[in-house]
Amino acid sequence: MSFKQLTPLFSVSGQITEADVAAAAREGFRAIVDCRPDGEGAGQPSFANVSSWAAKHGLEAIHTPVTPSDIRDADVEKFARAIESAGGPVLGYCKTGKRAATLWALSQAGKLGADAVLSAAKGAGVDLSALAPRFASSSGEEKIYDVVIVGGGSGGVAAASSLLKRRPSLSIAIVEPADTHYYQPGFTLVGAGVFEPEMTRRPMASVMPDRANWIKQAVATFAPESNELTLADGTVLRYRALIVSPGIKLDWEAIPGLVETLGKNGVTSNYRYDLAPRTHELAQGLKRGRALFTQPPMPIKCAGAPQKAMYLSCDTWRRNGALDQVEVEFHNAGAVLFGVPAYVPALMQYVERYGIKLCFESKLVAVDGASRVATFEQKDTDGAVTRVEREFDMLHAVPPQRAPDFIAKSALAGETGFVSVAPDTLQHTRYPNVFALGDAIGTTNAKTAAAARKQAPVVAINTLSMLDGKKPHVGYDGYGSCPLTVERGKIVLAEFGYGGKLLPSFPKWLIDGTKPSRAAWFLKDRMLPPIYWRCMLKGREWLCDHHLLEMKAEPTAK
């Protein structure tokens, strides 16, 4: 029998014999998928027979039996997994080959587009035009994606992979304008000269899940009532479910004089990929003088990052003998060193060891780079605000942060401008088919990649529930993590959830998060980058499960 090739990786045929299996092996197929229920026709070899022939000829055999009038999503998913796991060309067969082609078309439409799969089948002589209504639509503009994801950062890619791992046949579009994906938690170690900058970035194309459609554009506006959004070029995308994860806006312009002087005049910031190496250069070069480290008002991403930069710079000065000659000030717009009291004693030990002057309720409001003067608004105990100028030799500035403009002015925003979601289910408080995660949500957890790691499976599971007409049924406990790099080789590993509840991932004997430890440094330096690239972004939900709450009570959003 001749096989009909739909793509180089997939062909179909009618009922096969052992000779056909031998021919398939010679032609380089890796696996055979039997799409017929056993006993469907007289003289039909059973799957067990075909399986034994396949084994004899070195092929894998998979059974995905379906009847033509009743091909369900679960069958399509099983089939999608089967051809994906084969790792090479696959031969699907049934009585005529049409059912196998149908399963293939349904499993690939989300990835290749309905038009492409229909024409591939037609090219092989299999007419699947009757399937058209089952596809969301056959034309690009009219297409309705199962899920559209806004943002291909930590949260967006992790959510897409978590969804596809559970349901490979979903049609997913990820809207993301950037060419590069950043592992921002690594910026702190770049700023200390521990990581090379290149370790913290990869081409966006390399992190996009194969089965998702990457739309390389920015989202401009949302119309959640009609399940649509509009891209910057005016294209309208339609969806059954929307997942929003565009991160947080770094508002550098909010501090007059800062943008012009960043990267010059002793001014740096670990909050920018290109400037993080400058932090290390400046710290190494400074032998005496004054170094200022600033922290804007909350919320910011990784609330510990401003002081991490400071401790690691102090450690550099300690190691090269300059610490006594460098006057270090921490200007924090907030009123405390760290929001969760359990970690403060360990941090205070380092503040004292490095001789850091703490200036609370002191907000950076202007920078004069040429004169090397930073201006702060400082609040005294009576609430009176005065402007104070401080000369500096080095300034590590962290910009104020807010919801991205296109979110803040959209119907998805809550009062703070961030996406309004239920803190547990991460479902939008007004639009049940909208979910959100990452830095863009208006919840009280620490805005960290670690939080997005825990949120991604919650969003994936609840989105699938919603698509199946059910309620969200898992919850997020507010977990976030902030590895406070107090010196090179030691970290105070803050891990906590809503309300500041401590949520350690490891037993105390291994890592006591309230104390500086080498094990926590090893975790950040060696373990977390591969966990990020190879697990979190690939749908391998390592270090997630025990923060997934089964919703027993009614979720807080419908």
Phi, psi of 4 (to 5 degrees): -100, 120
Name the closest residue to ligand FAD (Cβ): 153
How many other C-beta atoms can be found within 10 angstroms of the C-beta atom of residue 240?
A: 17
If one asks whether residue 483 binds ligand FAD (CB under 6 A), the answer comes out as: yes
299: preceding bond cis by omega (within 30 degrees) = yes
Least distance (Å) from ligand FAD to the CB of residue 309? Answer: 8
**Annotation says 94 is catalytic:** no
Dist. CA 459–CA 237, nearest whole Å: 20
For the chain, the first-to-last Cα distance in angstroms comes to 55
Backbone angles phi, psi at 47, to 5 degrees: -60, -35
Annotate 431-475 with three-state secondary structure.
CCCEEECHHHECCCCCECHHHHHHHHHHHHHHHHHHHCCCCCCEE
Position 219 contacts ligand FAD (CB under 6 A):
yes
The answer to the question of residue 396 lying near ligand FAD (CB under 6 A) is: no
Tell me whether residue 107 or residue 514 sits nearer to ligand FAD (CB atom).
514
256 half-sphere exposure, CB direction, 13 A CA radius: 5
Query: Contact, 125 vs 4, CB < 8 A?
Result: yes
Q: Is 397 in the site for ligand FAD (CB under 6 A)?
A: no
Tokens linked to 66: 């379906």
In the list 175, 340, 351, 543, the residue contacting ligand FAD (rule: CB under 6 A) is 175
> Catalytic: which of 35, 482, 535, 544?
482
CB of 350 to ligand FAD, least distance (A): 17
Establish if 300 lies at the interface with ligand FAD (CB under 6 A).
Answer: no
Q: Does 161 sit near ligand FAD (CB under 6 A)?
A: no
| Closest CB to ligand FAD among residues 80, 459 | 459
- In degrees and rounded to multiples of 5, residue 310 shows phi and psi of -70, -50
Q: How far is the CB of 203 from ligand FAD (least distance, A)?
A: 12
Binder of ligand FAD out of 406, 435, 479, 521 (CB under 6 A): 406
Using the minimum distance from each CB to ligand FAD, give the nearer residue, 135 or 343: 343
Half-sphere exposure (Cβ direction) of 198: Cα atoms closer than 13 Å = 0
* Residue closest to 437 by CA, chosen among 108, 8, 149, 119: 149
Q: Does 50 bind ligand FAD (CB under 6 A)?
A: no
Say whether residue 35 binds ligand FAD (CB under 6 A): no
* 399 vs 472, beta carbon nearer ligand FAD: 399
Within 10 angstroms of residue 92's Cβ, the number of other Cβ atoms is: 28
Query: Does residue 359 carry a catalytic annotation?
Result: no
Q: Which residues contact 502 (CB under 8 A, 6 or more apart)?
A: 340, 342, 495, 496, 513
Q: Which residue in the set 245, 294, 425, 463 belongs to the binding site for ligand FAD (CB under 6 A)?
A: 245
DSSP for residue 130:
G
CA dihedral sign, ordered 61, 62, 63, 69 = negative
By the rule CB under 6 A, 184 interacts with ligand FAD: yes
Among 15, 107, 188, 517, binds ligand FAD (CB under 6 A): 188
**Binding of ligand FAD by 513 (CB under 6 A):** no
C-alpha distances out from residue 358 to 51, 327, 349, 351, 556, Å: 71, 11, 13, 8, 40
User: Should residue 445 be labelled a site residue for ligand FAD when binding is judged by CB under 6 A?
Assistant: no
CB of 275 to ligand FAD, least distance (A): 10
Rounded Cα–Cα distance for residues 101 and 91 (Å): 10
**Choice among 302, 314, 359, 544 that is catalytic:** 302
| Helix or strand run (H / E) with residue 349 | helix 344-354
Contact window for ligand FAD (CB under 6 A) among 64-72, 122-130, 245-253, 277-285: 245-253
Per CB under 6 A, 286 contacts ligand FAD: no
Q: Which of residues 113 and 438 has its CB atom nearest to ligand FAD in the complex?
A: 438
How many of the chain's residues bind ligand FAD (CB under 6 A)? Answer: 37
The footprint of ligand FAD on residues 306-365 (CB under 6 A) is none
When asked if residue 195 is in the footprint of ligand FAD (CB under 6 A), the reply is no
154 is a contact residue toward ligand FAD (CB under 6 A): yes
Task: Choose one: 46-54, 116-124, 383-391, 440-448; the region binding ligand FAD (CB under 6 A).
Answer: 440-448
**Binding segment toward ligand FAD, per CB under 6 A, in 147-155, 193-201, 233-241, 548-556:** 147-155
When asked if residue 209 is in the footprint of ligand FAD (CB under 6 A), the reply is no
Beta-carbon contacts of 442 under 8 Å, excluding residues fewer than 6 positions away, are: 403, 413, 414, 415, 416, 417, 418, 419, 420, 421
Length of the chain: 558
When asked if residue 151 is in the footprint of ligand FAD (CB under 6 A), the reply is yes
Contact residue for ligand FAD among 93, 187, 350, 431 (CB under 6 A): 187
User: How far is it, in rounded angstroms, from Cα 173 to Cα 495?
Assistant: 32
Q: Which letter does DSSP use for residue 276 in this model?
A: H
DSSP state of 13: E
Binding residues vs ligand FAD (CB under 6 A): 150-156, 175-178, 184-185, 187-188, 218-219, 245-247, 270-271, 301-302, 305, 404, 406, 438-440, 447-450, 452, 481, 483
Residue positions annotated with a catalytic role = 302, 482
